[in-house]
Each structure stands twice: as C-alpha cells, then as structure tokens.
C-alpha cells in the first residue's frame, strides 16, 4: 500500500504517528480474505471500522508505554540526544495533553472535541441553518467556546481539513466512532494476548496484528460494522472502554482520577 504523509522538521513525531495511523488502514485492506477480491465484500466494511484500525495502531499500540520505550531507544541510537532524558519522558511526550488548533495533531483526550465541532457545523450546513459564507465565523466561535482560545488564522481553523472541499460530508464522525471501536477491540485484545506489552516493548506488534487480522480485518465486508466489532470484542460496542482507557492512561500520567467519570 502506498502511504502519503507530510514531514515537519520541527516535529518528527507528527510524521511518525501519521505513518503508523495510515499503516492501520493499509493493514486492514491487505488482510481481507483474498476470496472476497473483486466482490462487494472485498473492502473495509465502513470508515468507522477502518478508523478503528488506524486509531488503534496509532494510539493504543503506537503510544503505548512499551512501544514508546522501544521507539525512544531507536531514535536515540539513530539521532543521539533528542531532548528527552529517558523512555518514561518519551512516553509522556508522545501522550502530552496540549493546546492546539490541528485535529490530526490533537492528543487523545481532546481529539473527539474536534470531531464534535465539525459534526455540529456540518449538520447545520446540510440542514440549511448555516450559510457557507458564515462558516468561518461559526467555526471560530465554536472553537473558542470549546477549547478556550481563539483561532489565529484560517489555515488553523476551517481550512485545515480537505474533507468538505472534496465532498466528504459525513466522514468526520467516523473518527470518533473509530476511537470508540478501537477501545472496545483493545480491551479484548489485551485479554486474549497477555504477551502484548512485552512484544511491543521489543518493537514487535505481531500479537496485535495477528489478532486484528483474525478478529476484524479478514472479514472485509462480510458483517455489518457494529457486528464485526461486537464479534471481535465480545459485546456490543459502547463508549465505556474508551473512557476507561483514557482514565487509566492519562490519570496515571497527570496524577488525576475520576476526571472522566
């Protein structure tokens, strides 16, 4: 699969995690049962399920403590001092909750706020309640209300994503749905693969990729989206696993508890 990405010399982590994200999409397509090729079943069943793969690769795997430690060793071996003292500091850095305008660079805690903003504006546009000419002002007002600071330029606001300009209305909610699905899958994956943490710490994601291949990806379009997640996770998908995951990870990182209860 060809992956297109961008590189910011001031922020190499953005590029690394963008590639890991897109690898999740590619892995899904490559793992679909070849018997389904050239049929309606021979592709990902929905963008929500597709984003569950990419967001799981990017966050639950790529930003895990074990994988972050392995990546820290690789980066320091290659580049020397990267401005982070140790693996624990690197793990904190790749999971830092921080202010920012750009959805693709948002931390896991705030990411879904970006989706909610877009979803509400998109729904107002489609309903005729918001004129296209008023979209920038509506975006800026909503962003300030949700995030607490003002958009400084259009490229950091309504012009940052390509989705609307290429006609992809209804796409943004698939990212939030993907986050929910990913957390459901990760809870079951951890139960089924107790060796996962140790493997990630060795830079080996194969327990995760093998489980996802078998439980989700090989089915292509065979089952409806919610059913394929329910079959893999062992229960109806809900937001509860995502909230537990965020609470556990960021509660420990920032020494806070009960913030998401």
* Beta-carbon count within 10 A of 27 CB: 19
| Tens-digit pLDDT profile for residues 22-69 | 999 999 999 999 999 999 999 999 999 999 999 999 999 999 999 999
> 254, exposed or middle or buried, with CB in 10 Å at 0-12, 13-18, 19+?
middle
Q: Residue 145 and residue 163: Cα distance in Å, rounded?
A: 23
The catalytic residues are 22
Which residue pairs from 97-105 have beta carbons closer than 8 angstroms and sit at least 24 positions apart in sequence? 97/250, 97/254, 99/147, 99/149, 101/143, 101/151, 101/152, 101/156, 101/157, 101/160, 102/156, 102/160, 103/160, 103/161, 104/14, 104/18, 105/11, 105/14
The pLDDT score that the predictor gives to residue 257 is 75
- For 45, the 3-state DSSP assignment is coil
Contact 58, 21 (CB under 8 A): yes
- With a CB cutoff of 8 Å and minimum separation 6, the contacts of 196 are 189, 190, 207, 208
User: Tokens for 160?
Assistant: 């940052």
Q: Among positive and negative, which fits the CA dihedral 4, 10, 12, 18?
A: negative
Query: What Cα–Cα distance (Å) separates residue 202 from each residue in 55, 62, 194, 224?
Result: 21, 13, 14, 35
Closest to 182 (Cα-Cα) out of 9, 20, 5, 61: 61
Closest to 45 (Cα-Cα) out of 141, 53, 91: 53
Out of 3.40.630.30, 1.10.1370.30, 1.20.1250.20, 1.10.1840.10, which CATH number does the structure's domain 12-254 have? 1.10.1370.30
* Beta-carbon count within 10 A of 70 CB: 18
Q: What is the pLDDT along the chain (261 residues), one digit of tens a residue?
A: 787 788 888 888 888 999 999 999 999 999 999 999 999 999 999 999 999 999 999 999 999 999 999 999 999 999 999 999 999 999 999 999 999 999 999 999 999 999 999 999 999 999 999 999 999 999 999 999 999 999 999 999 999 999 999 999 999 999 999 999 999 999 999 999 999 999 999 999 999 999 999 999 999 999 999 999 999 999 999 999 999 999 999 999 999 876 555
Domain boundaries, the chain: 12-254
What share of residues in the chain are helix, strand, coil (percent, to 5)?
65, 0, 35
User: Tokens for 68?
Assistant: 């972050």
């Amino acid at each position: 699969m060809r992956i297109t990405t961008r590189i910011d010399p001031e922020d190499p982590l953005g590029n690394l995690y963008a590639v890991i994200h897109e690898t999740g999409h590619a892995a899904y397509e490559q793992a679909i049962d070849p018997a389904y090729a050239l049929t309606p079943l021979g592709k990902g069943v929905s963008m929500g399920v597709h984003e569950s793969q990419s967001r799981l690769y990017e966050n639950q795997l790529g930003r895990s403590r074990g994988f972050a430690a392995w990546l820290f060793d690789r980066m320091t071996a290659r580049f020397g001092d990267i401005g982070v003292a140790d693996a624990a500091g690197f793990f904190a850095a790749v999971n830092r909750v921080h202010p920012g305008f750009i959805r693709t660079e948002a931390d896991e805690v705030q990411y879904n706020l970006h989706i909610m903003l877009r979803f509400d504006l998109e729904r107002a546009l489609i309903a005729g309640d918001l004129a296209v000419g008023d979209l920038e002002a509506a975006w800026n007002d909503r962003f300030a209300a949700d995030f607490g600071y003002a958009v400084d330029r259009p490229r950091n606001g309504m012009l940052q994503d390509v989705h609307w300009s290429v006609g992809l209305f209804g796409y943004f909610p698939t990212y939030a749905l993907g986050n929910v699905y990913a957390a459901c899958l990760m809870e079951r994956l951890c139960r089924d693969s107790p060796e996962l943490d140790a493997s990630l710490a060795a830079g080996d994601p194969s327990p995760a990729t093998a489980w996802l291949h078998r439980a989700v990806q090989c089915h292509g379009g065979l089952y409806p989206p919610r059913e394929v997640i329910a079959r893999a996770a062992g229960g109806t998908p809900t937001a509860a696993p995502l909230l537990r995951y965020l609470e556990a990870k960021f509660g420990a990182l920032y020494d806070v508890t009960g913030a998401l209860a």
